[in-house]
Chain A
Amino acid sequence: MTERQEYRQIIEAARQLGRTRPDSAEVDEAVAEIRRRLAQPSPSRRRRRVFAAVAAISAAAAALLVAVLIVNSSRPATAAERLRDAADATHAYKGWVHIRPQQRPASTAPASRRSLLEPTDVIMHINTADGRVAVQFKVLGMRNVLMNVPERQEQLVYNSAMNAVRIDAIGKDVAKGWIKAAADAPLRLADMLAEMKKSGMAEPRVTSTDDNGLTRFELTFPQDGRPVPDRYREIAMAGQTVWVDPESKLIRRMRTHSEGRDLLVETSYGAPEIRDIYDLGVPRDTQAIDARADAKLFADEDTTRPAAREPTTRPDPTVDLDAVAERLRGRIAAGFGDHVALLCQEDFPNGHGTHRSGAMTLYAHQGKAELSNYYLAAPLGPIMGLLGFPPNWPTPSLDDALPMLKPVIPVHATVTDGEHAWGIQSYGAQPRPMVQTIPPAHTPSVAEIIWPRLPSPNKAKGQDGEVIYNITINSTLEAVRDVDRPELLGLHTTTATKFNWNGRDVQQRNEYFYWIDPAREDMPIETMHRFGGLAPEDQNKITTIRQIYEEHTRLPDGKWHPTAWRELEQRPAQAGAEPGLRRRYWLQILPNAKLEAEWFADPRQRFPHLPETRPATGPQTRPRD
């Protein structure tokens, strides 16, 4: 995405946010509450009034109370009252609640946007007493089971294709949140009815009948012109049906309407008691992967301080920087021949594996055809229609990954068949992928994420169409050595930008250290990027991003590449500073692996409804040979 596009995206996000409106009833209530508090007299006057009023109202209140009791004791509960009792009883239930949603397409629903990744056979289990939650579902024929155990601060995830149970740690606060959420769930009919009333909606008309041993309540909402909040509009139009067990007063079934589809939810209580994930049908001999150690990997990294280890460097003027820059450019240009590469990355916020999210980049080079496709992914993604982590994450095989990637539109991509090229970008505050035909030009390659592109200190010539980088004013490039790692070569670059802002000189600086191993084809060992202001008052705002390459491998043809590295962001201590970003990468390069021709074709062949944006007007460069 260009800089201009990024600016537009931020502005559009802000404008979209500005166009949202809270419910007017909600606003009125908030304002009214403040007004009530402002109108309250001072405490001393308030006490006198209370005492004076007590005597006056007590007699009347007592009489009224007696009258109400007499009337209520002899009047049968209305359907609405019985439904409210059932809603309250369900909300108060403590124990296992088992929920089976069944979503059916409505006859008037538009053509389904259901993707191959939509979960099916969903069953949820919630323990409203201790916060344990388990979800079972299927995606692409694979069975998945997720279970959270707040008491042990654990999340367990099982996938049938992976045939393993992964155990991640969840933070204490997250665990508490799960307990609270479970206690507030499920079937928040009571809350929903209360919210509807608060929002000014007309109370629903409730009728009841017997239905095969259950009491069936029909809720219909009068269309009397009163405003209806958007989130309740479908329910208000279609109504709602609730089936209640007359003995226990617990809700057993509910029919509602959402996103143009009927949703039927069956609920049961108590048995089966779920002690662990294996009680949900996960084979007991399944391999258990304890990923809680991953959290410890990052727990030691204190990212609120500047980088703990600064290499002790000394310049090495004997290094021919032109030759090094040329050598690195050559490695990038040579690449890895015909290959397919898969880069998986996962974020580890706060050092925990909860709310896992990541991405996958698929690279391919086949003759003149190339592609670079970037996808967002999360293990719980299929529940929300997103891409999940494929089996054997984070090093899935192509057989694991491709079936999941194929039906999904990348967030951004560059594709060429050698003669034509297309780009996919996601635009707007609600990013929507759009495709455009672009001039055949450079396609990002896996080699570019391995070796840095350096400016040539002295050479300014290049071939036609080649993008070259020159040293400019305020930029430096030097070779350095680390006294602790003498086998490595360090490339140290800085760029400084100075501009005047409101009469004040502002200087921004970018600094890079690339530590490479010349004995292994200049493999990256560590990269450090530091940026921030140069002014004295900005010294505590400098951010450092480090990439530490932990594993490398050698391909059959002798070429090296890194296979695993981690990325840390470190900021100086500031009030309210957040821990830095933590991310891990895993790279697989598969020489001579091939993708089907359709991967390199116009993306609209696989995604006919992909909208098109205006043709690119970028620089005309010749295709790579």
Chain B
Amino acid sequence: MDGRRSHKRLTLLLDEQGSRLYAALARLTPGRDLAAELFQELFLRLARSATFATADDPDRFAWRTAINLAMEWRRGRDRRPVQHPENYVREPESAEVSPLETLIHREQVERVLDALSELSESMRECFVLRLIEQQPYEQIARQLGKTPHQVRGLCHAAIRNVRERLNANHRTPADAKAGGHD
């Protein structure tokens, strides 16, 4: 019974959320091939998950699993700079963007995402769903079983934690000396 129910849920999830889930994975990882691979891995995990088959909110479970998958990959990989920029998800291009700016932007995004991978699950989810996926607070709150106010708080905490991690990794000597006394 669970197998049929799971199959039905997977099909419905694919129809309703498939494109958005794929797009989210493509944003959170730096390669087209990787996004496709993680997308397949996501559905494999959902297919094998008893929790997914019986979850009250299968969409929420799927989103959480997708975000966790991307972050697992980030934590486990060798953090070299992206080797092949042409594999990156297509970004809104501007004739004014120089190679330097594009390179810095991509590196910055990678650093933010790497810092994000170290946060708690709740903070990560709120950050991704609100700031990257641009979902309204109310929708995220319903998904996470929290109030919109709590979601706002988690987002603020996530941004603060990301900032602290970025600052810890990329401080100029003056920043290092200034430390906590500014």
Contacts and interface: CB of A to CB of B under 8 A. Distances in A.
Contacts of B97: 430
Contacts of B100: 384-386
Nearest to A453: B181
Contacts of B91: 16, 20
A432 B103 CA distance: 12
A575 B95 CA distance: 42
A529 B181 contact: no
B22 A30 contact: yes
B10 A17 contact: no
A155 to B, nearest CB: 13
Interface stretch (A31-39, A86-94, A417-425): A31-39
A168 B43 CA distance: 43
Nearest to A445: B174
A15 B27 CA distance: 11
Interface string B163-178: 1001111001110111
Contacts of B43: 34, 37-38
Contacts of B90: 20-23, 229-231
Chain A contact-residue range equals 35 or more
B179 A430 contact: no
Interface in B137-182: 150, 153, 157, 159-160, 162-163, 166-169, 172-174, 176-181
Interface in B87-139: 89-93, 95, 97-105, 108-109, 112-113, 127, 131-134
Nearest to A117: B100
Contact of A11 (B108, B131, B157, B180): B131
B55 interface: no
B69 interface: no
A110 B96 CA distance: 10
A290 interface: no
Interface string B64-101: 00000000100110111101101001111101011111
Given A31-B22, A432-B101, A547-B176, A14 B131 contact: yes
A349 B91 CA distance: 28
A501 B157 contact: yes
A90 to B, nearest CB: 18
Contacts of B81: 355
Contacts of B39: 30, 34
Contacts of A22: 22-23, 26, 32, 35, 89-90
Contacts of B18: 30-31, 34
A10 B162 contact: yes
A600 interface: no
B79 to A, nearest CB: 6
A23 B76 CA distance: 27
Nearest to A577: B75
Given A10-B166, A578-B79, A38 B19 contact: no
Contacts of A350: 78
A326 to B, nearest CB: 15
A529 B180 CA distance: 10
A16 B176 contact: no
Nearest to A511: B180
Q: 9 closest pairs, A vs B, by CB?
A: A14-B131, A576-B75, A430-B105, A510-B180, A449-B173, A22-B26, A18-B132, A31-B18, A430-B101
23 contacts: A7-B159, A7-B160, A13-B112, A14-B131, A20-B90, A21-B23, A27-B19, A29-B36, A30-B39, A33-B36, A34-B14, A181-B84, A230-B90, A349-B79, A355-B81, A430-B97, A430-B104, A449-B176, A454-B181, A455-B181, A501-B157, A531-B180, A543-B168
